[in-house]
Structure 1
Amino acid sequence: MKILFYGTASYDKDSFTKELKDYPDVKIDFTETNLTPMTAPLARGYDAVCAFVNADCGAMTLEILSGFGVKLVLMRCAGFDAVNVEVAKDLGMKVTRVPAYSPEAIAEHAMGLALCANRRIHKGYIRVRENNFDLTGLVGVTLHGKTAGIIGTGRIGAALCRICKGFGMYVIGADLYPNQKLIDEEHVVDEYVDIKDGKVDYDSLYARADLISLHAFLNEESYHMINDDSISKMKDGVIFVNTARGALVDSNALIRGIRAGKIGAAGLDVYEEENANVYQDREDEILGSSITARFCSFPNVVMTSHQAFFTKEALGEIARVTLDNAQAFAHGTDFVPRSVVC
């Protein structure tokens, strides 16, 4: 099994090389180039390609890969928004992902963003570095006793529920498929909002939550679920966090909400405009009128670049699951559970 690994960073090479010793039938060649229609021909002679969330695995890329005999696309991430799944099916290509590599890491990062944005830790750090010890403009709110609204209570959302409960918060969950164990056994969710006619009553959560964190899947129904209307229903000064998918949020609506004071603090690890920026060094560029620059102009917004997963434990799990799937494809054995996209 020969794999071309696109978009290689030093930590990717380190984590995969470390695990490769247990997969003698798998050979990986690494390239820093990301996967696009223009770079797909580099995969000539390979059995599979490995790509990340910021790759372009659209119809043209897949058709080119298929033309060169590539039969397997290994996404080393949980999301597969970048893949045109229907085209992959038509071409007879297998697409796999890493369904859950470190839910706790992402949940911890979400709370870190919430704390940093709420207490203006990033601003305080910069001030102290400049010998400015003034506290003006750095006031936040105490989370203990407040209400957390967790949208999506899968493995990541559940991990954040546990963290919020540890902070002494009242936790409201919103999920089309509520996890009753989080209420009855773990006691980390105090209640779920109602489901009416197959739809989650998010309005109830918006109206009550002091902290809202997104952990929902991105699909046609959830696209821009956070918009002008939903923001208008939130409490004034709400702390908002998104470590899920950028397109869950209408960025311009969020900017309006921040300017109006409805959003008291925001922590963003993902956002709609991120694909051009993710894992790129653009220090010498002027971003102009970009949404990124506008978010960064607000003192109550903290942004990271798709970093929530980024722990040693998560990188190791990503490597193992990806290589397990490559080996399974080569040997005709079962893939890792829940990892097959098509």
Structure 2
Amino acid sequence: MEILAYGVQADEKPLIELAFEGRHGVHCLEVCLDPDTASLAAGHEVVSTSVNARLDAAVLRTLAAGGTRMIAQRSTGFNNIDLGVAAELGLTIARVSYYSPHAVAEFAWTLALAVNRRIARAANRTREFDFRLDGLMGQDIHGMTVGVVGTGKIGECFARIGSGFGTTLLGWDVAENPACLDLGMKYTSLDHLLAESDLITLHVPLLPDTHHLIDGSALQRMKPEAILINSSRGGLVDTAALVETLRAGRLGGVGLDVYEEETGLFSFDKSLEVVTDDTLARLMTFPQVLVTSHQAYFTRTAVTQIVEATARNVDDFLNGRRSENTLIPRD
């Protein structure tokens, strides 16, 4: 059987091929799954998708009509999938419920440090042999109050690194993590965390209750020089409100690895095109903002775990098994 894999990055392709070697054939496509590319899956019983795939009702119906019976998403998040329609169509859906939390936590800290110390601006200057320090002053991380919004596996890893820097840790979640408590984290209300933190990082899933968790009101409660980091899901932050907050001269830095309208943009080369997203374009004009292209997970360790779990998910489907990765089981 040949599996069709959408949205495959160049560095990811050999790892996918290795994971399926000796099991099944796999045909990798750079294009993401969307209404225009869904018909390419005709004749493929199993399709693997990236986090940027668009799996709405129309796409799912096209896949089902073409003979697809199983979708193996290569990510933890699945807010891009209409699970109700998938169940109606009898499609089996699986995700990757776990991969290295260190990859995302380390990248979140990379963003925080780069934003705080203006690394991108400094690097651009020195390439032009401009060695001035004007505008590059940051703050010591040691002694900061760090607010961790979401203290699951990734939030815990972020907190451990923060503890090593010598920070005071505040946490907010629906349940307290004993490992975070052992680090000295104090759990508090979201309002108090936003008001007291010098650095705020987001590690909660995107759900109806967390959509625009960081809205205009939340942004106003933050310290004027606070640093905001989001390496989870773009929809957690109201980007229009963020732009207005930055226009008002608030926030010392913003590091975003995700963006709520990233589908169709992130992971693609748009350098020769006119980008019509005015909100994103305005956001990227602020000197204290750093935007990366949803790469926090992108380490060899994490991607290997993701593709190996995806291969196991396919094997489970073919053998009528289910696991913690199964969102919709086989009939």
TM range (shorter): over 0.9
Matched residues in 1 for 2:267 and 2:87: separation? Answer: 29
Q: Is 1:331 matched with 2:319?
A: yes
Equivalent position SS for 1:95: strand
Partner of 1:196: none
Residue pair 2:8, 2:50 contacting (<8 A) in 1 also: no
Query: Which deviates further from its counterpart, 33-42 or 313-322?
Result: 33-42
Match of 1:191 in 2: 186
Contact 2:156–2:179 (8 Å) recurs in 1: no
Q: In the alignment, which of 302, 305, 310 is matched to residue 322 of structure 1?
A: 310
Distance in 1, matches of 2:277 and 2:23, equals 49
Give me the whole-angstrom Cα distance separating, in 2, the residues matched to 1:59 and 1:43: 16
1:27 to 22, 25, 28: 25
State the alpha-carbon separation in 1 of the partners of residues 322 and 33 from structure 2: 27
* Alignment-mate amino acid for residue 311 of structure 1: T
Question: Is residue 248 of structure 1 aligned with residue 243 of structure 2?
Answer: no
In the alignment, is residue 340 of structure 1 matched against residue 312 of structure 2?
no
Residue 94 of structure 1 deviates from its aligned partner by 1.1
Sequence identity of aligned pairs in percent? 38
C-alpha distance in 2, partners of 1:248/1:287?
22
Q: Of the candidates 139, 142, 155, which is equivalent to residue 141 of structure 1? A: 139
CA–CA separation in structure 1 for the residues paired with 2:318 and 2:276 = 47
Asked if the contact 1:222/1:248 (under 8 Å) is kept, the reply is yes
Alignment of 1:71-90 (within 5 A): 71-90=69-88
Aligned to 2:119: 121
Deviation per CA, 1:84-111, whole angstroms, max 9, x where unpaired?
0111111111111111212101001101
One-letter code aligned to 1:33: V
How many residue pairs are counted as aligned between the two chains? Answer: 328
Contact 1:237/1:261, CA 8 A, preserved across alignment: no
The 5 A counterparts of 1:50-61 are 50-61=48-59
1:143-292, aligned counterparts within 5 Å? 143-183=141-181, 187-193=182-188, 201-288=189-276, 290-292=278-280
Using the size of structure 2 for normalisation, the TM-score is 0.96
Runs of 4+ with >3 A deviation: none
Provide the residue aligned with 2:17 in structure 1: 17
Give me the whole-angstrom Cα distance separating, in 1, the residues matched to 2:20 and 2:44.
17
**SS at 2:254's partner residue?**
strand
- Counterparts of 1:288 and 1:298, CA distance in 2: 18
Paired residue secondary structure (2:14): helix
- Aligned pairs for 1:94-133 (under 5 A) are 94-133=92-131
Structure 1: segments with no counterpart, 5+ residues: 194-200
TM-score by length of 1: 0.93
Show the 5 A alignment for 1:306-321. Answer: 306-321=294-309
CA 1:27–1:306 in structure 2 vs 1: closer, same or farther (change >3 Å)? same
Aligned to 1:7: 7
Please say if 1:48 is aligned against 2:46: yes
Offset of residue 328 of structure 1: 1.1
1:100-158 per-position Cα deviation (integer Å, ceiling 9, x unaligned): 21210100110110111111011111111111111111111111011000000111111
